[in-house]
């Protein structure tokens, strides 16, 4: 059985506040926040509200459930012009760092003046890239499940792991909603 860490919304809010404080203390003043879809978009929206700057998104594919799947592919670039802007690039986790590095390099290619990166979770054992800001640092491998990934996790976990990650009540509710398992 794998080792799982399941976040609650309170953990996300605490992590966002830590990221915002770290950014403010560093005196970095981004003029736009870019979230990497899917998980980074939620975090980017929250950070943009705190910093009072516009938010946009990028979509890159690299990961399936719990494992990297090939090269990073950019599927959607920001719709806002970032030429000459100081950008804060946000994702939920840096597992290998490949998605962050690819997105950062693309933002520079699109004319960003400066790009800093922020994630909720930095996996120090596996990431080849150290984000500028992170709320939580992991020194052991864990599957992280964010609140916005509960249904995805439920669909992909075997029944033993699902019973470890979710309460009985949650499993019943997800079964009803998804009419599976």
Q: Give the pLDDT confidence of 113-170 residue by residue, as tens digits.
A: 999 999 999 999 999 999 999 999 999 989 999 999 888 888 888 888 888 888 898 8
Catalytic residue of the set 56, 91, 92, 95? 95
Closest residue by Cα to residue 89 from 73, 104, 99, 74: 104
What values do phi and psi take at 32, rounded to 5? -155, 145
What stretch of H or E contains 177?
helix 168-178
Using CA atoms, how far residue 138 sits from 90, 95, 124, 158, in Å, is 18, 10, 6, 24
Closest residue by Cα to residue 5 from 105, 107, 149: 149
What's the mean pLDDT in 22-29?
96
- DSSP class of residue 36 equals E
| Encoded tokens for 60 | 């890159």
What stretch of H or E contains 102?
helix 98-109
| Encoded tokens for 39 | 């998980």
Active site (annotated) includes residue 3 = no
Using CA atoms, how far residue 111 sits from 50, 52, 81, 114, in Å, is 25, 22, 9, 9
The pLDDT tens digits of the residues spanning 62-101 come to 654 445 556 888 999 999 999 999 999 999 999 999 999 9
Rounded Cα–Cα distance for residues 77 and 103 (Å): 9
- Residue 40 in this model has a pLDDT that exceeds 60: yes
Strands in 86-94's sheet, in edge-to-edge order, are 67-76, 55-64, 32-37, 86-94, 114-123, 133-138
Rounded Cα–Cα distance for residues 35 and 91 (Å): 6
């Amino acid at each position: 059985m794998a080792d799982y860490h399941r976040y609650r919304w309170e953990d996300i809010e605490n992590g966002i506040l830590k990221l915002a404080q770290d950014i403010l203390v560093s005196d970095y003043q981004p003029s736009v926040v870019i979230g990497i879809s899917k998980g980074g978009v939620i975090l980017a929206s929250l950070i943009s509200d705190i910093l009072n700057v516009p938010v946009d998104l990028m979509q890159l594919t690299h990961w399936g459930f719990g494992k990297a799947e090939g090269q990073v592919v950019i599927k959607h670039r920001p719709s806002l012009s970032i030429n000459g802007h100081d950008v804060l690039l946000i994702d939920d986790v840096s597992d290998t760092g490949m998605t962050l590095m690819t997105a950062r390099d693309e933002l520079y290619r699109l004319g960003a003046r400066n790009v800093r990166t922020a994630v909720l979770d930095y996996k120090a054992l596996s990431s080849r890239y150290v984000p500028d800001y992170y709320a939580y640092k992991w020194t052991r491998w864990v599957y992280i499940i964010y609140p916005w990934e509960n249904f995805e996790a439920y669909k992909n976990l075997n029944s033993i792991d699902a019973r470890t990650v979710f309460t009985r009540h949650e499993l019943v509710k997800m079964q009803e909603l998804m009419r599976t398992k």
